[in-house]
Chain A
Amino acid sequence: MPEIRVTPLGAGQDVGRSCILVSISGKNVMLDCGMHMGYNDDRRFPDFSYITQSGRLTDFLDCVIISHFHLDHCGALPYFSEMVGYDGPIYMTHPTQAICPILLEDYRKIAVDKKGEANFFTSQMIKDCMKKVVAVHLHQTVQVDDELEIKAYYAGHVLGAAMFQIKVGSESVVYTGDYNMTPDRHLGAAWIDKCRPNLLITESTYATTIRDSKRCRERDFLKKVHETVERGGKVLIPVFALGRAQELCILLETFWERMNLKVPIYFSTGLTEKANHYYKLFITWTNQKIRKTFVQRNMFEFKHIKAFDRTFADNPGPMVVFATPGMLHAGQSLQIFRKWAGNEKNMVIMPGYCVQGTVGHKILSGQRKLEMEGRQVLEVKMQVEYMSFSAHADAKGIMQLVGQAEPESVLLVHGEAKKMEFLRQKIEQEFRVSCYMPANGETVTLPTSPSIPVGISLGLLKREMVQGLLPEAKKPRLLHGTLVMKDSSFRLVSSEQALKELGLAEHQLRFTCRVHLQDTRKEQETALRVYSHLKSTLKDHCVQHLPDGSVTVESILIQAAAHSEDPGTKVLLVSWTYQDEELGSFLTALLKNGLPQAPS
């Protein structure tokens, strides 16, 4: 029995370290290859030894697909391809291919240069890894091999984020990666056609949340920032260099412009300008409005937002700083946080999800005393605000996508178990499809029953279709043909053609039944009586009286003859072939009952 198997190596009932193995019709595909922000040990990367204990990964995997450039989806890629060893194709979109190596290099620097980790991947490994990447366009059907094809759909979430359809024959799986069903200030909404996959693997970060309108959140955000700088406080906004940062920059930029504010806004790291440049060059991946107006005004050229220097953190007076990374787990955002945490006038706004174990997650869950490296304890007095700006679909959005794609079953990843459970029930209730939520290392097996494509001869098909168009053909009709299986080609042809192709002759089986009738009239008159009787009885059939005196019903021949001994009896010879068996048998039975009395 054919089946689809799915095993999450990461992101099973968890957020972070996305990595999902899919086997479909004998093809093995790995979806994403992420790292976990919450760990610094072995657990930070997926356990690739699960894939194969001894063999080479390249022999086992047909391809790897990366949905977008966030590190929890691509952070383990150089480790996987260069240190564990994989030489097959890695598919991602153009913007992901452009931005991914930069974030990987950033990540490497923090891990190796700042934390001094050994045995980490090198810059060269990132380069070598990226050489294995094949860029895909949206909606392009990429033929991985003769049977396996993949296709990318727009996912919103971040620049270049894509959902992927993986298809072998008539079986398919759709993997959403992270996606967003509502357009924001710089990106459009995710979209997929009614592709009816056997399985939809969807993220479920916000499985239980239904977010209020974007406008309200934006107003709220601006109000908080404004109030803080008004009272002379500093605002820290930890972000990832690409994505939410651009959306919030556009938001603050327009607000500053409108309110004519002079308080400085900074963007940490040299990535800013570079990042914005990517947005400009990949403007076709942003939303409608930005694309339409980019010739007149490039939304990614900011007037009020300047590059940040680390010495600025100690400057007196209010300021707003965007700093990376977004979960306060390392780097500049954490440094600034430590400097500003002690002052209650200041504020930190977390605009996205924080995984467990990060400083971001700790302060959001209300912790106010943090143990830092070297047993230092940091007291957090600054205000901590959480604003969900991360561009994941909320419960409503997830349901919307399931409705769009119409899958036969759903599998949840990239979320917390408790919330998933809730969403799982909701999906099963609403769509009447089964919904799974495997933990890491747990395999879900879905039996599939693919239909079998064969070639049908056009002659046979047309004959059937023409008859299918007749008005009385409302009831289901049977198509009769012969399936010719030769080597691996399957063809459905009419039986006559099959016989002919095989050089076999048809064997005709014919029946002739004698039916005795009491009738003193002449044979011709008997035949005429038979004709009128059948004509009135068999309204749906073609009944004919031929010049030679015989009667036909469709292709059944009826002749009347005199009885050799009894002149008062006539013999009807009813003759038909095996193909008309039922009608022939019916006619003899009908005629046996005699003819109705002729009107005198």
Chain B
Amino acid sequence: MLDCGLDMTSTLNFLPLPLVQSPRLSNLPGWSLKDGNAFLDKELKECSGHVFVDSVPEFCLPETELIDLSTVDVILISNYHCMMALPYITEHTGFTGTVYATEPTMQIGRLLMEELVNFIERVPKAQSASLWKNKDIQRLLPSPLKDAVEVSTWRRCYTMQEVNSALSKIQLVGYSQKIELFGAVQVTPLSSGYALGSSNWIIQSHYEKVSYVSGSSLLTTHPQPMDQASLKNSDVLVLTGLTQIPTANPDGMVGEFCSNLALTVRNGGNVLVPCYPSGVIYDLLECLYQYIDSAGLSNIPFYFISPVANSSLEFSQIFAEWLCHNKQSKVYLPEPPFPHAELIQTNKLKHYPSIHGDFSNDFRQPCVVFTGHPSLRFGDVVHFMELWGKSSLNTVIFTEPDFSYLEALAPYQPLAMKCIYCPIDTRLNFIQVSKLLKEVQPLHVVCPEQYTQPPPAQSHRMDLMIDCQPPAMSYRRAEVLALPFKRRYEKIEIMPELADSLVPMEIKPGISLATVSAVLHTKDNKHVLQPPPRPTQPPSSKKRKRVSEDVPDCKVLKPLLSGSIPVEQFVQTLEKHGFSDIKVEDTAKGHIVLLQEAETLIQIEEDSTHIICDNDETLRVRLRDLVLRFLQKF
């Protein structure tokens, strides 16, 4: 299984979970059907014309109906965002396989899951709505609830216990490490340049190679650059995790982010940045580190609020080996690779596990707050939206591309605060993709259906799709796709003793053949040919055995023959070996050699020889061996 990401956009259909009781949210009117039937008003609430489910938020899981998870042997994880569904897959499903991921992926993935669990568990919600999921009722609901897919499979968040159990199934691997799976295939993670420890995977046997390219970046940010060279010579390249915002340039967005931030703060407003606790935030902090002094923001406090803020900042400093060259060489000095260490030391950046506790004492405005969750449905961000939403001095800046900012904001409407959309997505765009494909030249490209056509909103933009030859094969949810290769060969080892005994013959210039008769041993999907056992001595006892024990094993194959028999030479040979009275007749296709005395007839044609004789084994064997002299064995 390649990755197991969690679709969290489903949570946009739910009401936010406030940390502090919010009168506004709890007083939203219930929603009723057009005919006035209000039986759903406990479950559904209305806010500025949108309908939300008032319940513990639920997530849309990967397709699990189609396969029996207990038959999955291995899960390969490409980056920490793509493992958020892991507990749903590995726990309570019969899954007994191994998950492979790099150490940063595992550690930061743990932080993301920990944060998610914490956000949801610390605001216990009594209500769990399920009535609306009924197919007949869902039909009657307004969009987007009406169109939500697979709502019956939506699930509540996992627990920390399940997270720990899921993570314990991870086997840590390093870039370019070759991992043998059951002796049949080898998998290798390669740097994908997108996030700390993010990987592309190569899955190969001795004769076939599949590359799985997911969430890759060619930009120079903090992670190790993408390894493209190792992707060459792929039979199939599976391409996914491209940028969500193909039209936005990440560098431009960062600039816009900084200037909007500065503008707001200078006017005495606060800036809210909904974000994940790891990833782009490291780059943003680094930009701000260079920017704040020149922009005169040195006195503005920066707060990073997340249950895992401290861990995330600490962890980022210890994965030097997974960072870009610049950051790596800092560690050799030795200095922390990320400048946020200095921001913390100089008290410009402060981090807190939540708004409760120390934060409330230190809190000064105007300020900049980085906090989660980017969906605005849970986490400390909900509190700041409620707190700052009413003032037009404040600004919320969206940098994470996973959620539509308009939908994210819907339950907070009407809103006075400014909203800036600066999505920063460093993953491959279509121009980079076509460059990459030209570079690595895979025989076939396989990708999700969306990438093979322009985005629906910009259907004229033919440049916003994958363009390659032969055309990419596309897949969609719950569809089975057969990959276009034919396996012809597998590797086998010939033991040295056997190799020594082979007699190669040069059949054509540069081509030699050797017939091999050997014992095949197969263990753990590895094949070895060993020399055949020596023929066992015939039993010395004269005792008559049962006939069936003497029956030869018909599966001992004789070699194939090739060539043709020159009649004249054959006859000469026969004469030399004491046959007389030989008569040769011509036939339509060849000759018949008659040994009149022995009542034996040998039909010789271009591609066949037929010996017809009486039951005289000695004679037959003699003739056989003479015929064989003229033929090649294979």
Which residues of A pack against B, CB within 8 Å? 94, 97-98, 135, 137-142, 151, 170, 274, 277-278, 280-284, 294-295, 449-458, 461, 464-465, 467-468, 476-487, 491-492, 495-496, 498-499, 502, 504-516, 537-541, 554, 578-583, 585-586, 588-592
Contacts and interface: CB of A to CB of B under 8 A. Distances in A.
Interface in B209-265: none
B296 interface: no
A578 B561 contact: yes
A505 B607 contact: yes
B320 A281 contact: yes
A235 to B, nearest CB: 29
B270 to A, nearest CB: 29
Contacts of B348: none
B631 interface: yes
Contacts of A94: 320-321, 328, 331
Contacts of A581: 558, 624
A537 to B, nearest CB: 6
A317 B492 CA distance: 74
Interface in B591-618: 606-615, 617
A353 to B, nearest CB: 27
A532 to B, nearest CB: 15
B174 A138 contact: yes
A274 B513 CA distance: 65
B49 interface: no
A483 B515 CA distance: 6
B510 A487 contact: yes
8 contacts: A451-B496, A455-B207, A479-B520, A492-B494, A498-B634, A506-B561, A540-B551, A541-B554
A506 B562 contact: yes
Given A454-B494, A505-B562, A482 B515 contact: yes
Chain A: interface secondary structure? mixed
B488 A485 contact: no
Contact of B548 (A277, A496, A506, A538): A538
B140 to A, nearest CB: 50
Shortest 5 CB-CB distances between A and B: which pairs? Answer: A455-B489, A449-B496, A582-B552, A495-B634, A451-B493
A137 B321 CA distance: 7
Contacts of A453: 491-494
Nearest to A1: B496
A467 B557 CA distance: 13
Contact of A455 (B490, B522, B610): B490
Chain B contact patch, size range:
35 or more
Contacts of B519: 476-479
B334 A281 contact: yes
A541 B550 CA distance: 13
Interface in B615-634: 615, 617, 620-621, 624, 627-628, 631, 634
Contacts of B564: 507
A492 B173 CA distance: 35
Contacts of B331: 94, 98, 281-282
Nearest to A279: B334
A492 B332 CA distance: 52
Nearest to A143: B176
Contacts of B336: 281
A436 to B, nearest CB: 22
Interface of B: 103, 173-178, 188, 206-207, 310-311, 314-315, 317-321, 328, 331-332, 334, 336-337, 487-497, 499, 502, 504, 507-508, 510-520, 522, 527-529, 532-533, 547-548, 550-552, 554-565, 606-615, 617, 620-621, 624, 627-628, 631, 634
Main secondary structure of the interface of B (DSSP, over half): mixed
A508 B315 CA distance: 73
Contact of B317 (A281, A507, A585): A281
A123 to B, nearest CB: 15
Contact of B520 (A139, A281, A464, A486): A464
B29 to A, nearest CB: 45
B615 A514 contact: yes
B562 A509 contact: no
B553 to A, nearest CB: 8
Contacts of B614: 513-514
Contact of A507 (B494, B510, B608, B612): B608
A483 B504 contact: yes
Contacts of A278: 334
Given A485-B513, A508-B607, A455 B491 contact: yes
B282 to A, nearest CB: 16
B551 A491 contact: no
Contacts of B610: 509-512
Given A482-B516, A586-B552, A495 B608 contact: no
A553 to B, nearest CB: 9
A506 B607 contact: yes
B178 to A, nearest CB: 5
A478 B550 contact: no
B174 A140 contact: yes
* Most A-side CB within 10 Å, residue of B103, B496, B552, B560: B560
Given A454-B492, A458-B488, A484 B560 contact: no
B527 A456 contact: yes
Given A141-B176, A451-B493, A479-B519, A284 B319 contact: yes
Nearest to B508: A502
Contact of B557 (A450, A483, A579): A579
B562 A277 contact: no
A130 to B, nearest CB: 9
Contact of A458 (B487, B533, B565, B609): B487
Given A495-B559, A508-B609, A513-B615, A294 B334 contact: no
B176 A137 contact: yes
B334 A274 contact: yes
Contact of A515 (B174, B517, B606, B615): B615
Contacts of A464: 520
A98 B495 CA distance: 44
A452 B494 contact: yes
Given A137-B321, A499-B560, 18 more contacts: A449-B497, A456-B490, A458-B488, A478-B555, A479-B520, A480-B515, A480-B557, A482-B513, A482-B634, A499-B634, A502-B511, A505-B562, A505-B606, A507-B609, A509-B609, A510-B611, A539-B548, A554-B554
A588 B607 contact: no
Contacts of B561: 506-509, 578
A478 B173 contact: no
A539 B328 CA distance: 73
A468 B491 contact: no
B515 A495 contact: yes
A502 B563 CA distance: 12
Interface centre among B508, B554, B627, by most chain A C-beta atoms within 10 angstroms, is: B554
A580 B470 CA distance: 49
A98 B334 contact: yes
A508 B608 contact: yes
B289 to A, nearest CB: 19
Given A458-B488, A479-B519, A589 B617 contact: yes
Contacts of B562: 499, 504-507
A337 to B, nearest CB: 29
Contacts of A455: 206-207, 489-492
A458 B315 CA distance: 48
A590 B528 CA distance: 38
A585 B551 CA distance: 10
A270 to B, nearest CB: 13
A281 B178 CA distance: 26
B552 A495 contact: no
B511 A294 contact: no
A139 B617 CA distance: 65
A484 B513 contact: yes
Nearest to A579: B558
Given A94-B321, A496-B560, A586-B550, A513 B613 contact: yes
A140 B315 contact: no
A455 B490 CA distance: 5
B110 to A, nearest CB: 12
B324 to A, nearest CB: 13
